[in-house]
Structure 1
Amino acid sequence: MVDSDDFDALEHGLARVNGVKLHYVTAGEGPPLVLLHGWPQTWYEWREVIPDLAAEYTVIAPDLRGLGDSEAPLSGYDKDTVATDVRELVHDLGFGDEPIALVGHDWGMPTAYAYAAQYRDEVDALCVLEAGLPGVREDEKRHLWHTRFHGVRDLPERLVAGREELYLSWFYKEGAYDPSAIDEDARDEYVRCYSQAGGLRGGFEYYRAYDEDAENNGAHAADPLEMPVLALGGAASFRTLPIEDMETVATDVEGEVVERAGHWIPEERPDYFVERLTTFLEDVT
């Protein structure tokens, strides 16, 4: 559990970048380290790891377009656009003149890949967790029931509205090796965000951009990434899929299947994640 003093050390901000208002959290001093969350979560998924990471880095953890306390426009959910949001935020915060280390989990993974592929000279290390890249390889994980369901226009919002806690809690439990890792406080925070106006739609739009993401990723993959990449998959979840996808689009990839973890690695294994990430960054930057 995060100490209250750790939350006091976090700075919350709002910035209008790329035509959208983003909420973000920063902490610490040092080289910039950007953490990109996934669905159905927010910046808050990093709460257990930010304090330790902030001892060495300036941590920047935004709520992505349409999610958390960021604005939810009607369009712009392809990951190239979402990545550009984040890049403009990084520049707005004064880190445009130095390369960043970039971490992406779940939908944050293809967003981080899109950032690194579009702005290669601005990323010196990339870490991805627990997702695949649309359009890169064919794999059964890409056909998870909820990927197709969320991709249907309007229907998921109508069915889930008013049942957000029931629906989202199913994912937190079923995706975990240790269901207690996402505690009541975290669940309440996630449900709060996805229950507010535009919250469900913003999340589902990430799935509706799948085909556009696949096309964009196919173009990016023609020029493989050369920066060091760390890819992690939970032993009780995606396992080697993130590693295999990144090996398709990058030339310098190390990967690991994380034991005693499901989909929520930063919450299920925070100490492991901090140690593994910082060791990787120390070795390659």
Structure 2
Amino acid sequence: MRRDDLTDLNVFVAVAEERSFTRAAARLGLTQSTLSHTIRSFEERLGVRLLTRTTRSVALTEAGERLLRVAQPGIEAIAAELTALAELRDKPAGTVRITTSNHAHQTILWPALKRLLPGFPDIRVEVVIEHRFTDVVAERFDAGIRLGEAVERDMIAVRVGPDLRWIVVGSPVYFADRPAPAVPQDLTMHRCINYRNSTSGDLYAWEFEKEGRALNVRVEGALVFNDTLPAMEAAMEGFGLAYLPEDVAAASLRDGRLVAVLGDWCPYSPGYHLYYPSRRQPTPAFALLVDALRWR
């Protein structure tokens, strides 16, 4: 079959169904003269007349009736399949790779995925938990989730969580035989649980601010972790003071296993942001995930 035959067959079916060149032209978005020329050329190639034209109507010949019975279901099936393929193209599907920290995964990403994924079974999400700041372009991630202050300026950053507050906590056992620190400088007289920055490899300096005055304190202690959860567990066991996101420590603060200190020195800072390259063309699956994560 020639490629022109498929085009001409579609025109013929439209005219046959409408029984009118005028209505068929409007349906196909063509001029009546184009339709007439197409039908004439089609009939000449086939060597039979398909339509009988009068000034007021269009009727099918016997050959036209026969061709319509065969062609009409085929044209409808093709049109239905093309529609289905278009829907498949726009249907959110495929794999989205995200790098994030353990805390951001637990508090931001996982709650969003639990809401989103049941309704979109063709979306797959690969989550890589790591504490260093990741180059999403070099390591072929679709996006990353990190604190807003850590996001590079050449990235698109979408806020996905509220502001965060980091606080200093210790157990009642720890404070039983020593006074609580009154100012950040007092931490140098306390056992503290350090945090190793996975990106730089340095020990993290605890950050404080009060009345516009910023202060970083490097602390000492017997323990170093690269995650907040083991640091919190060590603090609850009385091994020293820990510097934790307030939401991580909230339950332990409520039940008295931890006590917060230096609260007036612990301000809020920018929360988590989803970041990805500005030149990235979002897929439907990625756009859907961004919308599900967006902080409102």
State the TM bucket, normalised to the shorter chain.
under 0.3
Query: Which entry has the higher C-alpha Rg, 1 or 2?
Result: 2
Q: Which has the higher strand share?
A: 2
With normalisation by structure 2, the TM-score equals: 0.26
